[in-house]
């Protein structure tokens, strides 16, 4: 029996080993996929030598491919989602998708076309180890929000290729998905990029990467109308991170199906909960299918105010804000790199923030940490066309640097002042 979490569950009883009667959940698809598609499974691995440093993005030579993307695979077509006519069914009966907005319901996967290759690097393992995860293409009639049989779930290619997320999900990522009651593919790519960048910054600053701190820095932003919902994004009441891209292009149709094929992978997603009657139920640690429960609560419910932070998180937040405040200003320049000056003959500048995209484009964690170390003193220029700045006699005066100041009043529900609204 498989159950998805709905609402705050009672504290589970975690078992060190599943009961003997249910130690190996059935995998009717495992042997078929392994025997039919051994080459694709090889491509789904991120192969690095033992002892290698953690890698945000793969080396081109890892795959032996001449293309720009490492670990390219043509995905075999899976069994497709469970459906009954035009309705998609689950073990509990018909699943209602009337709450889902048009875009997720209209976009079929690009990988239904066998000629299109996918970035299928979903984990980091050594060359000697067998893969723990398997990727396959959906069928043409499948959609990102549909329910797939067994332990299969949908993921956008962006999560692995650009955001650098690797399976299994780490404890921070699990805590975010669980708190939001959202499947990973229900989050907008920019939200996934913020999550990964936040992890790296916390590592660099030596502060705890906690769910409470994250949801103090980031608040929710929803899209959709008339009770129909799209992807969930994050916004910042106090801007500390740059958005990965203002508009992430072509992500909507680049998705595929992922499934665990080893016990270790399975246990990273599920646990056994003992019921009052003594029976044990296999429960998912996070939502793996699109579900509506998240939208039953307002966005304010998921927000963590400053007064709700523990002492360590408050100190961590101050350290994060101080780090961003230490950044030098960026200056405006034209295509030739010539800076614009204001009426007083001084550089026109603007505040800089943590460069999320540059951070995730680093090849290794060491490179990312080095970038964060150099980021405060970087002399960034912001490209501005002449018509964006104005004629010489109308060049704006130098912008004042707007700063965020952490409130030192413990009882103050607002965490910032001087130029920013309280979160």
Which residues of the chain fall below pLDDT 50? 1-55, 57-70, 83-93, 391-394, 400-403, 405, 407-423
Residue 335 lies in a domain: no
Residue 40 lies in a domain: yes
Residue 257 lies in a domain: yes
pLDDT digits (tens, 9 = 90+) for 76-112: 777 666 543 333 443 334 688 999 999 999 999 999 9
Residue entry with tokens 């708190």: 179
Q: What is the pLDDT of residue 30?
A: 30
- 223: tokens are 């899209």
- How far, in Å, CA of 16 to CA of 260, rounded? 19
Contact 416, 403 (CB under 8 A): no
- Domains in the chain, number: 1
Q: What is the pLDDT of residue 383?
A: 84
Residue 275 lies in a domain: yes
- How far, in Å, CA of 75 to CA of 40, rounded? 7
Q: What is the pLDDT of residue 86?
A: 37
- How far, in Å, CA of 232 to CA of 382, rounded? 29
H or E element, residue 246: none
Question: What are the angstrom distances between the C-alpha of 47 and each of 71, 169, 329, 385?
Answer: 9, 18, 40, 44
Residue 394 lies in a domain: no
394 Cβ neighbours under 8 A, 6+ residues apart = none
- How far, in Å, CA of 205 to CA of 314, rounded? 14
Residue 110 lies in a domain: yes
Contact 46, 58 (CB under 8 A): yes
In 131-289, alpha helices (H): 157-161, 171-180, 189-205, 211-217, 263-269
Q: What is the pLDDT of residue 28?
A: 31
Question: What are the angstrom distances between the C-alpha of 282 and each of 13, 150, 270, 274, 279?
Answer: 11, 12, 6, 9, 10
Residue 316 lies in a domain: no
pLDDT digits (tens, 9 = 90+) for 167-176: 999 999 999 9
Nearest to 407 by CA among 396, 421, 391: 421
Residue 384 lies in a domain: no
Residue entry with tokens 């409470």: 212
Whether the predicted model's global pTM rises above the 0.85 cut: no
What is the extent of the structural domain holding 258? 2-170+247-293
Nearest to 362 by CA among 174, 171, 201, 213: 201
């Amino acid at each position: 029996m498989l159950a998805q979490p709905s609402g705050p569950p009672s504290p589970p009883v975690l078992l060190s080993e599943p009961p003997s009667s249910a130690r190996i959940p059935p995998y009717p698809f495992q042997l078929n996929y392994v025997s039919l598609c051994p080459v694709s499974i090889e491509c789904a691995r991120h192969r690095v030598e033992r002892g290698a440093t953690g890698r945000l993005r793969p080396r081109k030579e890892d795959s032996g491919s001449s293309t720009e993307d490492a670990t390219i695979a043509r995905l075999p077509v899976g069994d497709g989602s469970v459906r009954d006519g035009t309705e998609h069914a689950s073990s509990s009966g018909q699943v209602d998708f009337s709450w889902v907005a048009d875009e997720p319901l209209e976009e079929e996967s690009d990988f239904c076309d066998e000629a299109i290759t996918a970035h299928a690097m979903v984990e980091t393992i050594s060359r000697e180890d067998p893969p723990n995860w398997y990727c396959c293409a959906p069928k043409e009639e499948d959609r990102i929000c549909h329910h797939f049989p067994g332990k299969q779930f949908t993921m956008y290619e962006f999560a692995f290729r650009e955001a650098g997320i690797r399976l299994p999900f780490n404890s921070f990522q699990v805590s975010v998905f669980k708190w939001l009651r959202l499947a990973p593919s229900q989050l907008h790519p920019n939200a996934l990029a913020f999550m990964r960048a936040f992890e790296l910054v916390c590592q660099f600053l030596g502060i705890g990467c906690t769910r409470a701190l994250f949801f103090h820095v980031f608040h929710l932003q929803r899209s959709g109308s008339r009770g129909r919902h799209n992807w969930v994004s994050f916004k910042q009441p106090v801007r500390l991170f740059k958005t990965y891209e203002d508009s992430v292009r072509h992500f909507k149709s680049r998705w595929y199906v992922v499934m665990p094929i080893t016990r270790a992978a399975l246990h990273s997603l599920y646990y056994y909960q003992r019921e009052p009657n003594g029976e044990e139920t296999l429960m998912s640690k996070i939502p793996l299918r699109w579900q509506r429960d998240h939208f039953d609560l307002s966005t304010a419910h998921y927000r963590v105010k400053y007064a709700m932070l523990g002492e360590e998180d408050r100190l961590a937040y101050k350290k994060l804000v101080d780090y961003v405040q230490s950044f030098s200003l960026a200056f405006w320049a034209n295509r030739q790199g010539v800076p614009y000056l204001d009426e007083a003959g001084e550089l026109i500048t603007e505040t800089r923030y943590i460069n999320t995209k540059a951070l995730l484009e680093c090849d290794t964690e060491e490179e990312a940490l080095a970038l964060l170390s150099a980021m405060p003193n970087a002399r960034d220029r912001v490209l501005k066309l002449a018509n964006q700045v104005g004629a010489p006699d109308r060049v704006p005066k130098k912008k004042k640097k707007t700063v965020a100041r952490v409130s030192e009043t413990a009882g103050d529900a607002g965490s910032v002042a001087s130029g920013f609204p309280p979160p």
